[in-house]
Amino acid sequence: MEAASPHSPSISWGLTGHEAAIRELDRGLRADRLSHAYLITGPTHVGKMALSIRLAQAVNCLSPEDAPCLRCSSCRRIGAGQHPDVLVVEPGSTEEGRARRDIGIDDVRALQHAATLNPYEGKSRAFIVNGAELLSEEASNSLLKLLEEPPPRSLLLLLTTSADGLLSTIRSRCRRIELHPAPVVDIAVLLQQHEDLPPDEAEKVARLSLGCPGWAISAARDPSILDERTEEAGRILQLVHGGMEQRFAFSAELAGSFFRERDAAKEHLYLWLRWWRDLLLVKEGAGQYAADSDYLIQQQELAQGLNTAQIVGFLQTMDRTLDALDANANARIALDVMMLKLPVPPASAKVTEPEDGDVDPRWGRARSGPGYPAS
Ligand SMILES: [Zn+2]
């Protein structure tokens, strides 16, 4: 990927962040040299789905000179999730309402069948596999055939938080696009301009988002998402100072919610990750850089009782837990192990509950925006 020229015109496709990825895709689009398959990687909510939708709009736009124009009927229908040539495949849920653990062979067969047909309306069919790390072995092998003989006028987009979870033969047949968190200042501007948030509120939500515009927009629209972090902060303090029984009750509860609504349960782990990352900053005397400044007093108290290695070790444990869950490990065991590794401060450490710190986490709230799931 070329470095950005300071003089190159800024192309955003109407998105916040991802300039390098958009520049590369836009160049491919203009030169008619897009790959038939892309592997789009990046953390949850960073904007993988939003970029995929833009790419599907770009290849089908009725106004090619400024594609994706976002105004033509094709762009609008794709944006609203109502275009017959754009197909999203993801784990979803079973008829019994449980979160499915994988993307199975039937999903890929449906996709393969669709790929043999000409586009109904558009110029190109776009197939988006959201959560590609969850493709079953059988489904992966089937998808590989599609990648080996790509049908004409089709675009395959594989979205994943962890490319390591995919077959290397799949990875090597896709062009890789890595998405990174967007600058906080850009997200703050987005929230002020499009969500009508006052500047101080926009700045706060932007910092909390850790560079993920999708999360920031969801939080701006749904205040309960911000309330939830208060509940979670209370829960973390309670568990750090609590006994094994409480810790295992928590892992059982979270594993149960993981079974029902995978993304919402992972969201809780991201809250934990952010809180512990801030704790590390506080421990190192850099609390002013914390994503969330509402818990600094509680974090300062806890930081006194823990050493840096304990905090770093637990951050690594949480990372490994998220990786294990992405790789379809047994959620209960993975979360039990995480709870066993939760650091224990000296019994003398003081606990100050956060304001409004009622501990009653409501697991399982979906936060997908309209049209397409967040990714
Ligand atoms: Zn258009």
Nearest to 231 by CA among 343, 362, 351, 349: 362
Q: Give residue 54 CA to ligand 1 midpoint distance, Å.
A: 10
Q: Give residue 51 CA to ligand 1 midpoint distance, Å.
A: 15
Q: Which fold has domain 223-369?
A: Zinc Finger, Delta Prime; domain 3 (1.20.272)
pLDDT class for 97, splitting at 50, 70, 90?
low
pLDDT class for 95, splitting at 50, 70, 90?
low
- Token code pair at residue 146: 């599609």
- What is the structure's pLDDT at 366? 30
Give the separation between CA 103 and CA 90, rounded to whole angstroms. 6
Q: Give residue 87 CA to ligand 1 midpoint distance, Å.
A: 18
Average pLDDT over residues 94-118: 79
Q: Give residue 65 CA to ligand 1 midpoint distance, Å.
A: 9
Partners of residue 67 on adjacent β-strands: none
Check the CA dihedral 13-14-20-22 and report its sign: negative
Give the separation between CA 190 and CA 168, rounded to whole angstroms. 37
Q: Give residue 122 CA to ligand 1 midpoint distance, Å.
A: 11
- What is the structure's pLDDT at 173? 96
8 A C-beta contact, residue 349 and residue 245: no
Instruction: Write down the CATH superfamily of domain 19-90+103-178.
Output: P-loop containing nucleotide triphosphate hydrolases (3.40.50.300)
Q: Give residue 77 CA to ligand 1 midpoint distance, Å.
A: 10
Q: Give residue 58 CA to ligand 1 midpoint distance, Å.
A: 7
8 A C-beta contact, residue 23 and residue 46: no
pLDDT class for 359, splitting at 50, 70, 90?
very low
Q: Give residue 283 CA to ligand 1 midpoint distance, Å.
A: 50
- What is the structure's pLDDT at 93? 57
ω into 343 cis (within 30 of 0): no
Q: What is the value of pTM for the model shown? A: 0.75
Q: Give residue 272 CA to ligand 1 midpoint distance, Å.
A: 40
- What is the structure's pLDDT at 210? 82
How confident is the model over 228-254, as pLDDT tens digits? 888 888 889 889 988 899 999 999 999
Give residue 305's Cα distance to chain centre: 33
Nearest to 184 by CA among 173, 176, 192: 192
Give the separation between CA 65 and CA 68, rounded to whole angstroms. 9
Q: Give residue 45 CA to ligand 1 midpoint distance, Å.
A: 24
User: Alpha helix locations (H) across 178-243?
Assistant: 184-195, 199-208, 213-221, 223-240
Q: Give residue 60 CA to ligand 1 midpoint distance, Å.
A: 7
Mean pLDDT of the chain: 84
- What is the structure's pLDDT at 71? 94
- What is the structure's pLDDT at 152? 86
- What is the structure's pLDDT at 367? 31
Q: Give residue 62 CA to ligand 1 midpoint distance, Å.
A: 5
Q: Give residue 155 CA to ligand 1 midpoint distance, Å.
A: 17
Q: Give residue 120 CA to ligand 1 midpoint distance, Å.
A: 17
Nearest to 318 by CA among 292, 339, 302, 332: 339
Average pLDDT over residues 2-10: 46
Residue 223 burial (C-beta neighbours within 10 Å; 0-12, 13-18, 19+): exposed
How confident is the model over 195-221, as pLDDT tens digits? 999 999 999 999 888 888 888 998 999
- What does DSSP say about strands 125-130 and 154-160: parallel, antiparallel, or unpaired? parallel
Q: Give residue 124 CA to ligand 1 midpoint distance, Å.
A: 13
How confident is the model over 149-183, as pLDDT tens digits? 888 889 999 999 888 889 999 999 999 999 999 99
- What is the structure's pLDDT at 98? 59
